[in-house]
Structure 1
Amino acid sequence: MPEPATPRSPASPPPGDATRLLRAALHEVSTVIVGQDHMVERTLIALIAQGHCLLEGVPGVAKTLAVSTLATVTGGTFTRIQFTPDLVPSDIVGTRIYHPSTEQFDVELGPVFANFVLADEINRAPAKVQSSLLEVMAERQVSLGGTTHPLPDPFIVIATQNPVESEGVYPLPEAQRDRFLMKVVVPHPRAHEEMEILRRMSTRPPRPQRVLDPLTLKELQADAEAVQVHQLIADYVVRVIMATREPESYGLPELRRVIDVGASPRATLGLVAAARALALIRGRDYVLPDDVRLLARDVISHRLILTFDALADGITTDQVVDRILAAVPPPRVIWDEPAGPDAATATR
């Protein structure tokens, strides 16, 4: 439950080592990945917030390279699973194999048993494979033959999907999309970034150095959980999410014909967790309304289901989230209020 705490003044010192380590990790990843700062930062936020991340972009925009580089920088184990239409659940989570010599079944654990699991082109696998990931993503464990096997800690699933191909792909089930903390759209690089990619990669590609380790990652996750969330910030998050379900109650009656299904409670929890991680990266031990607004698209958009009329009109979920953010007022932060019986609170 969010803690009612007053934000500190901007002059207060930052949390310190946690922020320094996170910024060092981002800098090390940027020595390899050019121009995708948004994707890299959001992926690190998902890791620190103990969530999962869905990357959507055309081929060749460094989605896979970014994930493998982040795994190297953070010192975690990494596996890449290429999703195909003929994939079966045992190819992912593992299976039991009978050995006639011992007359016993042995468990062969699948590739999901790693700190970083890259589900490449996740929308190419059928529904039964997607459902096999639900327990992995939600419970961080795998059940085989009546035995539960916990996954490594920390653990994150980062999936990629190609938005321009329609042949041989399957839409992700709504229940699985909801398991992803964030969905990040990865664009093409700009001209000057393309030139830098050519300069770095055409000769000897740079190799990232390890900055963190799994134990330090767990400590950073604990630091993020300790970031303070004022009660009014929590109220703002709830109002934004509720506006996706009851838009007419928040002055948005026109969205009733646009939104078929609003965001789930996972969006509320995820938006707070992601805002805490972003605040830690920014050097604060408290969340600001801007943290919530910056992450709202990434956390909410993929959870919304629009009506057929909205899709026919070309309305996107990002446009819906932007409309909600414009209509739902955030709390106003005031620093250094004078002390006294009539003094206002630090956040209104």
Structure 2
Amino acid sequence: MAVTDSASSPGTEGRGGADLETLGRVVERVRSNIKKVIEGKPDVISMVLVGLLAEGHILIEDVPGVGKTMLSKSLARSIDCSVRRIQFTPDLLPSDVTGVSVFNQNTREFEFRPGGVFANIVVGDEINRASPKTQSALLECMEEHQVTVDNTTYHLESPFMVIATQNPIEMEGTYALPEAQRDRFMLRLSVGYPVESSEIAMLDTHTQSSPLDDLESVTDAAEIRKLIGIVNQVYVSDAVSRYAVALTSATRRSDELTLGASPRATLHLVRAAKASAAMAGRDYVLPDDVRGLARNVLTHRLLPSVEASMSGRTTGAILDGIIAAVPVPEGTR
């Protein structure tokens, strides 16, 4: 089904204009705040905000020293909400992440002491330096927004977002993230090196003091929950839904991949596209929203075949070929 204009989408006529304006103002405040710390990376900042509004988790992978943790902390400080940081190390235990029951000698009862995941925004620094056993402690909370310890389930308050950083697997002292763990991250981002002008500007702002010290919150958790509700109302046509499914299905049929995108990946792709459309001031999703996010949403979930790896084909290059081969719906709006 091709939708010719936004007014013909069910329930969009006369709805959402004021809400989208509010969303745009809040997003711009947060974006401007982060720019005070992260120089010359507008696309990366936009992707982080897409993840926040789509209730997704973000994996930031890059070499040391390019600002991965700084980006995570600047987003966390821009929102007046609970924030916890977990420094992943080889000796970190699962109970350090989820929490543990401790016996109280005075009351003669066990008391639960929450772990690092009990916050609105959890910054997981260098997640792939912890063992797979500890990494797996995040699986339940990332998917179900809850933690189960000693047969008791504790729910995590919304919004809940994990922003994890990691170094490339080729670096010393790193463990590969399990497939189940990678699949729970909505987006994988790479910060990259700054351009010369941005690096020079960074020297002026970062050498005397850290800009993070002066960063103040520009919104709060309650307002972010409202924005998430606005994003949830963004309309997705049948044609756009079929296009998203066609992209993920094509990865499962590829001879160059041993592991394609999961149904969760399709869901994440559409949710991210809805957030991207809302940030662009639209209450409907275009195929271009889906296509533009496919690489960030899908690449880290795919595994190349042995033949593809031996021939030097990267996962990104394989996915680019798949995206190019899947027809884009015409006239869909």
TM score, norm. by length of structure 2 = 0.92
The DSSP-based 3-state class of the residue aligned with 1:137 is: helix
| 1:172 and 2:186 aligned | no
Residue 168 of structure 1 aligns to a residue whose secondary structure is coil
Indicate the residue corresponding to 2:50 in structure 1: 45
Q: After superposing the two structures, state which structure 1 stretch, 15-24 or 151-160, moved more.
A: 15-24
Give the one of 217, 228, 249 matched to 1:221: 228
Structure 1 equivalent of residue 111 of structure 2: 106
Give the alignment partner of residue 242 of structure 1, picking from 249, 255, 267: 249
Partner of 2:216 in structure 1? 209
Q: Find the aligned partners of 1:66 and 1:89 in 2 and give their Cα distance.
A: 25
Check the 8 A contact 2:84/2:121 in 1, yes or no. Answer: yes
Is the contact between residue 167 and residue 174 of structure 2 (CA under 8 Å) also seen in structure 1?
no
1:281 corresponds, among 274, 279, 289, to 279
Q: Which residue of 1 aligns with 2:262?
A: 264
Cα distance in 1 for residues equivalent to 2:120 and 2:252:
35
| Residue aligning to 1:22 | 27
The CA RMSD over aligned residues, in Å, is 1.9
Q: Deviations over 1:80-122 (max 9, x none)?
A: 1111111111111110111223221111111111111111111
Which amino acid is 1:219 matched to? Answer: K
Tell me whether 1:290 sits opposite 2:288 in the alignment: yes
Conserved? CA contact 2:240–2:285, under 8 Å: yes
2:84 to 65, 69, 79: 79
Q: What is the deviation of 1:128?
A: 1.2
1:200 match: 205
Secondary structure in 2 matching 1:197: helix
Query: 1:127 deviation in Å?
Result: 1.6
SS of the residue aligned with 1:29? helix
Q: Does the 8 Å contact 2:125/2:165 carry over to 1?
A: yes
Equivalent residue of 1:96, what SS?
A: strand
Deviation, structure 1 residue 6: 4.9
Query: Take 1:262 and 1:54, find their aligned partners in 2: how far apart are those partners?
Result: 19
Deviation at 1:164, TM superposition (A): 6.2
What TM-score do you get using the length of structure 1 for normalisation?
0.88
Within 2, Cα distance between the matches of 1:150 and 1:138? 12
Give the superposition deviation at 1:205.
3.8
1:139 alignment partner in structure 2: 144
In 2, are the aligned partners of 1:7 and 1:230 still within 8 Å (CA)? no
In structure 1, how many angstroms separate the alpha carbons of the residues matched to 2:185 and 2:4? 31
* Superimposed CA distance per residue, residues 209-231 of structure 1 (whole angstroms, 9 cap, x where no aligned partner): 32211011001001111111111
Please state whether the residue corresponding to 1:98 is helix, strand or coil. Answer: strand
Aligned partner (choices 174, 181, 191) of residue 196 of structure 2: 191
Contact 2:79 2:220 survives alignment (8 Å): yes
* Count of matched residue positions in the alignment of Structure 1 and Structure 2: 322
User: Counterpart amino acid of 1:265?
Assistant: P
SS of aligned partner of 2:6? coil
How far apart are 1:165 and its partner, in Å? 4.6
Residue of structure 2 in register with 1:306 after alignment? 304
In 2, the alpha carbon distance for the partners of 1:291 and 1:50 equals 17
Q: CA deviation at 1:4?
A: 8.3
Kindly state the Cα deviation for residue 5 of structure 1 after the two structures are TM-superposed.
5.7
Whole-angstrom distance in 1 between the partners of 2:132 and 2:78: 33
Name the larger-Rg structure: 1
Which one-letter code corresponds to 1:149 in the other structure? Answer: Y
- Is 1:150 aligned with 2:165? no
Partner of 2:10: none
**Matched residue SS, 1:16:** helix
Q: Matched residues in 1 for 2:5 and 2:59: separation?
A: 32
Question: Deviations along 1:138-175, whole A, 9 cap, x unmatched?
Answer: 11111122211111210001111111653322100001
- For 1:159 and 1:270, the matched residues in 2 are separated by 17
- Counterpart position of 1:130: 135
Runs of at least 4 residues of structure 1 off by over 4 A? 3-6
Question: Structure 2, unaligned stretches of length 5 or more?
Answer: 8-13
Identity level (%): 44
Q: CA deviation at 1:273?
A: 0.2
The alpha carbon displacement at 1:67 in A equals 1.2
Question: 1:323 aligned to 301, 305, 321, which one?
Answer: 321
Distance 2:54 2:43 in 1: 16
Spell out, residue by residue over 1:40-83, the C-alpha distance to the aligned partner (whole angstroms, 9 max, x if none).
21111111101101000111111111111111112222111111
